[in-house]
């Protein structure tokens, strides 16, 4: 009886098959990274607390408004987006303790000690007609101002940029320079 060998399977087409699968996956998949600006929305106020909500001192709040023509107002003056960052930085640091700029509160931060934390709040208002790209541009500028302040602070305290710090130190910096942007209740900001 002759011993029958099983014939070898030809593997030559394996490459073709795997190429086919590869192309299939390339087509059905996306590679876009999830990137964007993270925000926390304020919780909806319950009915009974609506009366005494705005008890924030006037000097502690800066109104950033964008009207329906994409014009930007910060405080009460009209300005260009490029000026906004410096305005915000000045507002949040208040280097000369100007009485019209926000007050600072000594706060105990674990791992750092006493640090004057600014009580400033940025209130961002937009009109229904504002374009989204402008809105993001302004948001971006606000974040940039805060990021730069944090970098500055991190440089001073630890000699490193904020991103390069470890988690606990980042937390300290976050507490010292909070990102206090409030997206105000929607209002129709009429164009002036």
Shortest distance, position 69 Cβ to another protein, whole Å: 12
Going by C-beta distance under 8 Å and a sequence separation of 6 or more, which residues neighbour residue 135? Answer: 66, 126
Stretch that binds another protein, among 1-9, 91-99, 113-121, 136-144 (CB under 8 A): 136-144
- C-alpha–C-alpha distance, residues 127 and 7, integer Å: 76
- For another protein, the binding residues in 10-39 under the rule CB under 8 A are 11-12, 14-15, 18-19, 21-22, 25-26, 28-31, 33-39
- How many CA atoms lie within 13 Å of 135's alpha carbon, on the beta-carbon side? 13
Least distance in angstroms from the C-beta of 191 to another protein: 14
Among 56, 143, 165, 181, binds another protein (CB under 8 A): 143
Toward another protein, which CB reaches closer, 45 or 116? 45
Residue that is written with structure tokens 């060998």 in the block? 5
Helix axis angle, 132-158 relative to 167-176, nearest 10°?
110
Q: What is the CB neighbour count within 10 angstroms for residue 66?
A: 23
Instruction: Provide the b/e sequence for 80-98 (b: ≥16 CB within 10 Å).
Output: eeeebbebbbebbbbeeee
Q: What residues contact residue 46 under an 8 Å CB cut-off, 6+ apart?
A: none
Task: Residue count of the chain, please give it.
Answer: 192
Per CB under 8 A, the list member of 81, 90, 115, 137 interacting with another protein is 137
* 131 counts as binding another protein under rule CB under 8 A: yes
When asked if residue 155 is in the footprint of another protein (CB under 8 A), the reply is: no
Binding flag, residue 128, another protein (CB under 8 A) = yes
CB of 160 to another protein, least distance (A): 19
Given the complex with another protein, which of 82 and 114 has the nearer CB atom?
A: 82
Nearer to another protein, 25 or 96 (CB): 25
Contacts of residue 176, defined as CB under 8 A and 6 or more positions apart, other chains included, come to 109, 112, 115, 117, 153
Residues at the contact surface with another protein, assessed by CB under 8 A: 11-12, 14-15, 18-19, 21-22, 25-26, 28-31, 33-44, 126-133, 135-137, 139-140, 143-144, 147, 183, 186
């Amino acid at each position: 009886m002759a011993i029958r060998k099983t014939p070898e399977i030809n593997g030559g087409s394996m490459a073709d098959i795997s190429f086919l699968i590869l192309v299939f996956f390339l087509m059905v998949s996306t590679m876009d990274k999830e990137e964007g600006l993270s925000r926390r929305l304020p919780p909806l106020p319950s009915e009974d607390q609506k009366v005494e909500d705005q008890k924030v001192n006037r000097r502690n709040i800066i109104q950033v408004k964008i009207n329906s023509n994409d014009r930007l107002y910060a405080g009460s003056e009209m300005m260009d987006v490029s000026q906004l960052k410096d305005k915000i930085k000045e507002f949040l640091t208040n280097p000369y303790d100007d009485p019209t700029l926000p007050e600072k509160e000594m706060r105990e931060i674990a791992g750092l000690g006493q640090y004057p934390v600014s009580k400033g709040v940025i209130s961002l208002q937009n009109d229904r007609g504002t374009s989204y790209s402008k809105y993001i541009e302004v948001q971006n500028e606000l974040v940039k101002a805060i990021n730069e302040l944090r970098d500055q602070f991190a440089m001073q305290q630890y000699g490193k940029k904020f991103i390069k710090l470890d988690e606990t130190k980042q937390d300290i910096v976050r507490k010292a320079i909070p990102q206090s942007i409030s997206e105000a209740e929607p209002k129709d900001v009429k164009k002036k």
